[in-house]
A and B are shown apart, each in its own frame.
Chain A
Amino acid sequence: MDLRKKAFTKSIWVFHMSVGSCNNCDIETLDCFTPRFDLERFGIQLIGSARHADALLITGAMNKKAVLRMKKVYEQVPKPCVVVACGTCACSQHMFKYSYNVTEPLDKILPVDVYIPGCPPKPEAIIAGIIKALDKIKKGK
């Protein structure tokens, strides 16, 4: 494994984006950084600007207006980057599937690397998802 990939797996900066979520997934995401779970141990940080991001964590059922913005934000993230679908809404649109204001599941719009199901996913589930993402990078993404 080369240095670049190793450094990438050891310091992932996450940009957290909500595209029409009910705010539960967002709260659980923030819970990962509390003393009980403390993801900063592994160099994972939440950052403010999409330009600094290594991972795009997307929560919520894609509503029509937010999807355009989400595509723009994805273009703003410097590559290589990981896209994480957090919560059942982002994975498969959950109960909003036949709703009038949603478009498609996330993986039809962006190249999703990791799915974290759950409504909302527990912090443990989010950590497990992140480890899956790290494995995927290590195997050569």
Chain B
Amino acid sequence: MQMVQGRYPAAEEKMKQIFYCLIFPGFLFSAVIGLLAGWVDRKLTARLQWRIGPPWHQNFTDIIKLLGKETIVPEGAKYTFLFSPYIGLISAVLAATYLGRGIIAPLESFSGDLIVLFYLLAIPALALMIGASASRNPLASLGASREMKLVLAYELPFILAIITVIIRSNGAIQLGQIIRQQLFFGSNIFSLSGFLSFLVALFCVQAKLGIGLFDIAEADQEIMSGTLIEYSGLPLAVFKLTKAVMFYALPLLIIVLFLGCSLSPLFLIAKYLMLLAIIVLIKNTNPRLRIDQALKFFWRIPTLLGVIAVILALFGL
């Protein structure tokens, strides 16, 4: 191993990149943390409903069980049916990797990685739509159309929230610089514009995860888990993993953007758990909206708040 390191620096660099993507801030780590976060969600929900709730390994067991099940492809489904879960998983994992590396080594981040991250986090929803439309199920297509409307609804306020952060850190579109700015001048959330855009981002994250208020595309009882209705076995497990990785990556993104003052491991975990608790509480205390209500909600309150936050940020508040 020593010899190899000495001889092939390029190969070593490549191995490092693969390690980042597959193991440490990437796939394995983010999936494990995401599944554990999913357990925290289920356990907290159960406790709030005065139940006991599942054991900590429940989500892992679910994934392993799904791997052992039969995979059924509906008659006449396109090849994208089996293809799209992986697109979603890969983009979510890449996003988690960028975020993780951005926190561990802020100086290594490249200019514009925030924009890359933004696009990568939008792809899992797209993959869900592609997969659902390929399955030839009417309920799945209903779910896909709802997901599409939801994406239209939440992306605008989410962009506005990110723009506020960019303005506050002097036009930097780089995770490292955003973190450094907050290190010097305090977290964004402690300013007026930062706080407003934090609220906006919190609701957008709920919608991106598709939980609680915005569990519209995947409504379990109403349209029989909508977009996922035809999936079974391995592809379903991949979708569940994608969701887990998003459950890890999105709160982390909020922490980096708004609470990036001190990112030592202990503080990071505390902040992550706090954010998770807030998200789960909002999920449990609010019923699901209809899709038109969700659209109205996003285009009125969070968009307005986002615009106000951008204007305030331009005045330096």
Interface residues of A (CB under 8 A from B): 3-4, 7-8, 10-11, 34-35, 38, 40-43, 47-49, 51-52, 54, 76, 78-80
Which of B2-10, B79-87, B164-172, B217-225 is the contact stretch? B217-225
A49-B65 contact in complex given A35-B49, A43-B58, C-beta closer than 8 Å = no
- A41 contacts B232, CB within 8 Å? no
- B228 contacts A52, CB within 8 Å? yes
- B62 contacts A43, CB within 8 Å? yes
Interface assignment of B54: CB less than 8 Å from any CB of chain A:
yes
- A52 contacts B225, CB within 8 Å? yes
Complex Cα gap A54–B224 (Å): 16
Interface assignment of B72: CB less than 8 Å from any CB of chain A:
yes
Q: Which residues of B contact A76 (CB under 8 A)?
A: 72
Partner of A78, one of B52, B64, B219, B232: B232
- A11 contacts B225, CB within 8 Å? no
- A78 contacts B225, CB within 8 Å? no
- Determine the residue in chain B with the shortest Cβ distance to A33: B51
- A49 contacts B233, CB within 8 Å? no
Interface assignment of B147: CB less than 8 Å from any CB of chain A:
no
- B221 contacts A51, CB within 8 Å? no
Interface assignment of B42: CB less than 8 Å from any CB of chain A:
yes
* Nearest CB of chain A from residue B264's CB, rounded to whole Å: 35
Q: Which residues of A contact B54 (CB under 8 A)?
A: 40-43
Interface assignment of B68: CB less than 8 Å from any CB of chain A:
yes
A41-B231 contact in complex given A11-B61, A78-B72, C-beta closer than 8 Å = no
Q: Which residues of B contact A10 (CB under 8 A)?
A: 58, 61, 65
Interface assignment of B46: CB less than 8 Å from any CB of chain A:
yes
- Determine the residue in chain B with the shortest Cβ distance to A75: B72
> Could you list 12 examples of A-B contacts with CB < 8 Å?
A4-B65, A35-B51, A40-B54, A41-B54, A41-B55, A43-B58, A48-B219, A48-B229, A49-B228, A52-B228, A52-B232, A78-B69
Complex Cα gap A52–B229 (Å): 8
Size bracket of the B interface: 20 to 34
A8-B42 contact in complex given A38-B52, A41-B53, A52-B232, C-beta closer than 8 Å = no
* Nearest CB of chain B from residue A134's CB, rounded to whole Å: 13
Partner of B64, one of A7, A35, A42, A80: A7
- A52 contacts B220, CB within 8 Å? no
Q: Which residues of A contact B42 (CB under 8 A)?
A: 40
- Determine the residue in chain A with the shortest Cβ distance to B72: A78
- Give per-residue flags for B204-241: 1 if the beta carbon is below 8 A from chain A beta carbons, else 0: 00000000000000011101110011111100100000
Partner of A51, one of B61, B67, B72: B72
Classify the secondary structure of B's interface with A: loop
Complex Cα gap A3–B65 (Å): 9
Partner of B46, one of A40, A49, A80: A40
- B70 contacts A11, CB within 8 Å? no
List the 5 shortest-distance A-B pairs measured between CB atoms, nearest first.
A78-B70, A4-B68, A48-B224, A7-B64, A7-B65
* Nearest CB of chain B from residue A29's CB, rounded to whole Å: 14
Q: Which residues of B contact A8 (CB under 8 A)?
A: 65, 68
Partner of B233, one of A34, A47, A48, A78: A78
Partner of A80, one of B55, B67, B69: B69
A51-B231 contact in complex given A3-B64, A78-B70, A79-B70, C-beta closer than 8 Å = yes
Interface assignment of B185: CB less than 8 Å from any CB of chain A:
no
* Nearest CB of chain B from residue A19's CB, rounded to whole Å: 17
- Determine the residue in chain B with the shortest Cβ distance to A4: B68
Q: Which residues of B contact A48 (CB under 8 A)?
A: 219-221, 223-225, 229
Q: Which residues of A contact B72 (CB under 8 A)?
A: 51, 76, 78
Q: Which residues of A contact B315 (CB under 8 A)?
A: none
Partner of B61, one of A38, A40, A41, A43: A43
Complex Cα gap A47–B228 (Å): 11
Interface assignment of B184: CB less than 8 Å from any CB of chain A:
no
Complex Cα gap A16–B271 (Å): 40
Q: Which residues of A contact B145 (CB under 8 A)?
A: none
- B58 contacts A78, CB within 8 Å? no
A11-B221 contact in complex given A35-B51, A51-B232, A52-B232, C-beta closer than 8 Å = no
Interface assignment of B191: CB less than 8 Å from any CB of chain A:
no
Q: Which residues of B contact A41 (CB under 8 A)?
A: 51-55
